[in-house]
Amino acid sequence: MRKLIIAIIFQIAIIGSLSAQIDTSTSNKQLQEFLVAGIRANDKQPITVCSLKREQIAKLYYGADIPTLLQSTPSLNTYSDNGTGIGYSYFRLRGMDQTRINTTVNGIPVNDPENQGVFFNNFADLASSAEEIQVQRGIGTSSNGSAAFGGSVAIQTRSLSQTASSGLMMGFGSFGSSRLSAELQTGLLGKHVMVYARLGQVKTNGYRNNSGAQVQSYQFSIGYQQKKSFLKFNFIGANAASHLAYVGIDKATFDAAPKTNPFTNDEADAFQQYFNQMQYTYQLRPKQSINVSLYLVKSQAPRFQYLFQGGLGFDYFNMLNSPFIVNNGDTTLPNSFLSSYRLDQTFIGGYATYNASFGKLDINAGIHMNHFKSKHFMEVNWADVLPVGIGPNHQVYLNTGYKKEQSVFLKLNYELNSSLSLFTDIQLRRTNFRYTEKTMEFRPSYGSVEPMNWLFVNPRIGLKYILNKEQSLYAMAGMSSREPTRFDYFQDDYATHEIKQNEINPEQLVDIELGYSYQSPALYAKLNLFAMEFQNQIVGTGTYNNFGYPITGNIGRSSRRGIELDVQGKVNSHFSFALNSALSNNTVAHLSQTFYDASFNPIFVKEFKNSPLALSPRLIQQVSFQSFCFKNVLAIAITGRMVSKQYLDNTAWEDLSLPAFHYIDAMLGINLAKYFKSSSPLISFRVNNVLNQKYASAGSVGGYNTLNSQGLREQYSLYFPNANRNFFLSLSFKF
């Protein structure tokens, strides 16, 4: 595969070099947009989409990770482990978590191929150099990587500029939070070369106790432009170190001491992730281009320290096949031990797209291939008592997952007349997974995993109707399927039994989107209706495993249906507003729940019909107002956000739910560019949670699915607390 892609690039590069002096110049900006044109939605397509441009990102981003940044888009709910939005932070789109949201950076799939999760702290501060972030809701258009069920997020990094510039961004705030970032655009060097570089660091002590995070990151891009071609290399990476805080707290603790973190023994992790990418685009004709990209992503977890306390000890891993250790004739328990989970991952791939416009017909076609190898292993760093033959840093297990993917897509957009256009999109995606395990001296294997293969056909069709220059209507229907993840099968870091592919069914989704949009100089409004019908949807039970991943399983038929509104308006030159709102009904048609006694013997099965899906609030709403004063020197912004009640499992039990919450954020900005033109200083002071609300935007389920002697359920809610009132002061310079 690698040889084939390299040969394609080499041939195209030769053609580009020979032809570069023939045609007239194409703009540098347009050539760079071609690089990711194949997987992004455009204005002609009937896709439910919204985009954040560089100017909007600069106003919204202050150091909290991308999930916080995306709260200005509909149907999105966020939370973070430590409560600040810096460090491990997540979002759910239309009630679905990040394993079901396709995320790309410059077309590179970011979702872990095995478990399909995304960890934005692994490349924190990327928003500092984001050119655009596009959020598609629903299945959207075909993209690289895992299937988009809740939606997709396409991040495009900074375009190279022919004009030299530099910038410095710094800030500090509550809980020891800070941000420092510096960037440089060299402008055009000679006639062909441009360079962009950024170094950054964000850190926090965390709102919760012992939950700090620190991430150093970089981006370096170098481009070589000719009249009809553009070659670009991107190097993006980060080193992240975090104290663990992914376990929630019960209601009593949340009320009395919301900063509590059950991890109190310096449990911490470190993660390193490096993206290396080559992009090449060649303009065949004014409205035709070929784009090719190769990428290599290296990821490592130098440590993930977890303390097993008490008599659980080594028997949890069946070491020596006995919970007891015999020393000098005395039998003892191994008691507590500190483990370190490790990862070593290599992800290599490439994609090529062809984009063309022939009068009324637009064509986008592409091919994508990748190969992923991930080593998982655990070491024992320390223990009260070590079994004979096991020393410090002993490797308990080592297994390797291999995932391959190949996909092709074809998108056609045809103008039937001056008002009506037809869009079709079909993707063929093939993927397979293989698992191997190292034979250990002391620990037996729990079971093998059969090789798995999936083949999916994902079609879409839609219409867009232009009413007039301000208004349009669209309708889209599509079908998508996705394979289960490694954690869906294992529920752990290794195979816990003999695993067969058909134990879990692939998810299937039919998505219907209807929309209306209005756009004028003073008002932008988009109204969207959606119906998402699932078969074999894989959902969380509400509980989490040792790594913070949800325990999951198939359910039968389920649906997510709702209405979304996205409005941005400008009253006059001094006042603007924005509103995004989502009202939805998210249910599972039929669910069987088994309850157990204290000895984990099944007692009875209860049937639930049309119960609400976990962590899927009916209402998410955000409204903001912004005022500009003193010739735009002073800006004042107020944002209010409200999220309705969320159930933590799928049985609609009130004791397993999170209350609705609301809060208000405020920002004061001072733009001194007119007084200091050489540096354009901008000062912003943010106060988050102005009213000091106590709330949790996410949670999980504690306890077991058992009944006590009175027949009452013994599970309970666990809360992930959000920070109380806090501030962040930022200062930026542009030179």
> Residue 57 and residue 72: Cα distance in Å, rounded?
10
- Look-up: residue for tokens 């943010």? 686
Give the per-residue pLDDT at 24.
36
Give me the mean pLDDT over the 366-370 stretch: 97
Structure tokens at 78: 């966020």
Whole-angstrom Cα distance, residue 375 to residue 632? 54
State residue 525's pLDDT score: 96
- What predicted TM-score, i.e. pTM, was given to this entire model? 0.91
CA distances from 693 to 255, 620, 661 (A): 12, 17, 8
Residue 189 or residue 5, greater confidence: 189
Segment 143-183, tens digit of pLDDT: 999 999 889 999 999 999 999 999 999 999 999 999 999 99
Q: Is the pLDDT of residue 21 over 80?
A: no
Are the C-beta atoms of 203 and 214 separated by less than 8 Å?
Answer: yes
More confident: 674 or 21: 674
Mean pLDDT for 320-339 is 56
β-bridge mates for residue 332, sequence order? 325
Burial code (b: 16+ CB inside 10 Å, e: under 16) for 481-512 equals: bbbbbbbbbbbbbbbeeebebeebbbbbbebb
pLDDT tier at 606, thresholds 50, 70, 90: confident
**pLDDT for position 683:** 96
Q: How many residues does the chain have?
A: 735
Please check the confidence at residue 82 and state whether its pLDDT lies above 60. Answer: yes
Cα–Cα distance measured from residue 149 to residue 481, given in angstroms and rounded to the nearest whole number? 8
Average pLDDT over residues 270-299: 94
Higher-confidence position of 333 and 443: 443
Residues 649, 123: Cα–Cα separation, whole Å: 31
Query: Model confidence at 441, in pLDDT bands (50, 70, 90)?
Result: confident
At 690 the pLDDT is 98
Mean pLDDT score across all residues of the chain? 89
Looking at residue 29, its pLDDT comes to: 67
Examine the pLDDT at 544 and tell me if it is beyond 90: no
Strand-pair partners of 499: 449
632-690 pLDDT, tens digit per residue, is 899 999 999 999 999 999 999 999 999 999 999 999 999 998 888 888 999 999 999 99
The predicted structure's pLDDT at residue 316: 61
pLDDT score, position 277: 97
pLDDT-derived band at 427, boundaries 50, 70, 90: very high
pLDDT higher than 80, residue 309: no
Answer whether residue 14 shows pLDDT above 50. Answer: no
Distance CA 61, CA 70 (A): 10
Give the percent of the chain with pLDDT over 70. Answer: 90
pLDDT of residue 335: 64
* pLDDT for 548: 59
199-247 confidence digits (pLDDT tens): 999 999 999 999 999 999 999 999 999 989 999 999 999 999 999 999 9
83-136 per-position pLDDT tens digit: 999 999 999 999 999 999 999 999 999 999 999 989 998 888 899 999 999 999
pLDDT value at residue 382: 79
Task: Tell me the helices (H) and strands (E) count for the chain, helix number first.
Answer: 6, 38
SS3 track for 576-629: EEEEEEEEEEEEEEEEEEEEECCCCCEEEEEEEEEEECCCCCCEEEEEEEEEEE
pLDDT value of residue 285: 86
Per-residue three-class SS string for 186-238: CCCECCCEEEEEEEEEEEECCCCCCCCEEEEEEEEEEEEECCCEEEEEEEEEE
Residue 16's pLDDT band (cuts 50, 70, 90): very low
Asked if residue 367 lies in contact with residue 390, where contact means CB atoms within 8 angstroms, the answer is: no
Using a pLDDT cut of 90, give the percent of the chain over it: 71
Task: Please tell me the number of Cα atoms within 13 Å of 654 on its side-chain side.
Answer: 0
- Residue 324: pLDDT band by 50, 70, 90 thresholds? very low
pLDDT at 349 over 50: yes
Confidence label for 15 from pLDDT (cuts 50, 70 and 90): very low
CATH 3.90.25.10 corresponds to the domain 2-734:
no
Q: In the predicted model, what is the mean pLDDT of residues 529-538? A: 94
Which amino acid type is present at position 660? A
Reference 149, options 141, 139, 136; nearest CA is 139
pLDDT at residue 543, as a whole number: 61
Closest to 1 (Cα-Cα) out of 439, 481, 348, 263? 348
Angle at 684 between CA 70 and CA 184, to 5 degrees: 75
pLDDT in tens, 401-420: 999 999 999 999 999 999 99
3-class secondary-structure state, position 69: helix
How does 712-728 read in b/e, with b if 16+ C-beta sit within 10 Å?
Answer: ebebebbbbbbbbebeb
Of 306 and 411, more confident = 411
Q: What's the whole-number mean pLDDT along residues 530-557?
A: 78
Distance CA 167, CA 125 (A): 14
* CA gyration radius, the chain: 26
Report the run of H or E that residue 494 belongs to, with start and end. none
